[in-house]
Structure 1
Amino acid sequence: MPAVDQIVEEAALRRLVDSYGHAVDRRDYALLRTLYHDDGVDDHSPYFVGPASEYIEWLPSMLANWSATSHVMLSALFLIDGDRAEGIVNARAWHLTADGKRAFIAWGRYADRYERRDGVWRFSHRFFVLDSIENRVVDNSDDFGSAGVAVSAPGLEDPIYSRLPMFGVDRGIQP
């Protein structure tokens, strides 16, 4: 594959994995559905293993345990073979408990298989590998002068949607 084509394909795969974190953190299940092929599988063992459509249906009940999350995709390596690809994506998944008193941070890797169908890359299979965890007590006693700073929220109530109209409901973020 020519170098320019390799860069373009890797950029498309990177956008896909970054869109996953955004969709989960903003509880944007419509976007999340566009990231998997209809026959895609998600494996977050032991919590969920099965069709991606069922994973997306299950996810709101799991996320209800957390007042906020932040899924950050760090380094990524992709191997591309025609319309198939595999990727290892290092990630940090931060979760704040519903009462705001504890933070749970999972460090790990997504082991992904992707397929390009009709010119669009999507997940065909996602598997999460846990490397380590952190469990922290959250000290909210000093907000370091953050009064008045826009505060995140799940869903369309998040300030990014009012401040960045291109990311609004009809934004059509594509993987």
Structure 2
Amino acid sequence: MGIRQADLNELAARDALRRLVTAYSRAVDRRDFKLLRSLYHDEAFEEHGDMFTGGPDEYMAFVEKALSSYAATAHYVVNTSFEIERDRAEGEVYKINYHRTHGPDAHEVITGSRSLDRYRRDDGEWRFLGRSITLDWSTRRAVDADAYRDFAAGSPPGRPGPDDLSYQVLTLFGRHG
């Protein structure tokens, strides 16, 4: 008894959807707006409560402005649940999100949220069709600057943009169009 083609197709779709939601995190944290925009259908929409509702081009401008307030961000995908029906899918994506502000009075905001996503596959490629974000919890604290100096034995800090170590070490990651 072999593996059914339908099961292989579902596994491939689930893998592609996981890759899509993790690519979102990479694009936001590295401030790679070209990659971020490529993850959306032109008619897609984003809903972030009272903060933002709109299409992908407006969302790119919103995200770029919002991220300028932060020295660092890290968006971690921790759980994913997908329901797939042919070339459409929905997902509930649990995330832990870290944001550190600039300056001597810097603070960290850490949240737990969920993306309630709609996806569509066109020509074999899954992209976001809609995303609604819900906040489950949040905490805020002052930055402990000593922790960044003492931890990880001098590892270079992660950086937004092309100065991040990943762009120097991971040569295949830059091949996104």
The Cα offsets for residues 97-134 of structure 1, whole Å up to 9 and x where unpaired, read as: 11262110110100000011121100000010100001
What stretches of structure 1 move > 6 A for 4+ residues in a row? Answer: none
**What's the secondary structure of 1:71's corresponding residue?**
strand
> C-alpha separation between the residues in 2 aligned to 1:83 and 1:164?
31
Determine the structure 1 residue equivalent to 2:14. 10
CA distance 1:145–1:37, shift in 2 (3 Å): closer
Determine the structure 2 residue equivalent to 1:153. 159
Determine the structure 2 residue equivalent to 1:41. 45
> C-alpha separation between the residues in 1 aligned to 2:64 and 2:35?
14
Gaps of 5+ in 2: none
1:77-96 paired onto structure 2 within 5 Å: 77-96=81-100
**What's the secondary structure of 2:131's corresponding residue?**
strand
Deviation at 1:144, TM superposition (A): 2.2
Deviation at 1:145, TM superposition (A): 5.5
> C-alpha separation between the residues in 1 aligned to 2:55 and 2:151?
45
> C-alpha separation between the residues in 1 aligned to 2:49 and 2:68?
19
> C-alpha separation between the residues in 2 aligned to 1:96 and 1:19?
21
**What's the secondary structure of 2:146's corresponding residue?**
coil
Determine the structure 2 residue equivalent to 1:99. 103
Q: Which amino acid aligns with 2:120?
A: E
Deviation at 1:146, TM superposition (A): 4.3
Deviation at 1:167, TM superposition (A): 2.0
> C-alpha separation between the residues in 1 aligned to 2:85 and 2:154?
49
> C-alpha separation between the residues in 2 aligned to 1:157 and 1:149?
14
Gaps of 5+ in 1: none
More helix by share: 2
Aligned Cα root-mean-square deviation (Å): 1.5
TM-score by length of structure 1 reads 0.92
Give the total of aligned pairs: 171
Q: Which amino acid aligns with 1:97?
A: T
> C-alpha separation between the residues in 1 aligned to 2:30 and 2:173?
12
CA distance 1:157–1:82, shift in 2 (3 Å): same
> C-alpha separation between the residues in 2 aligned to 1:41 and 1:145?
39
Give the fraction of aligned pairs with identical amino acids, expressed as a percent.
Answer: 39
Q: Which amino acid aligns with 1:115?
A: R
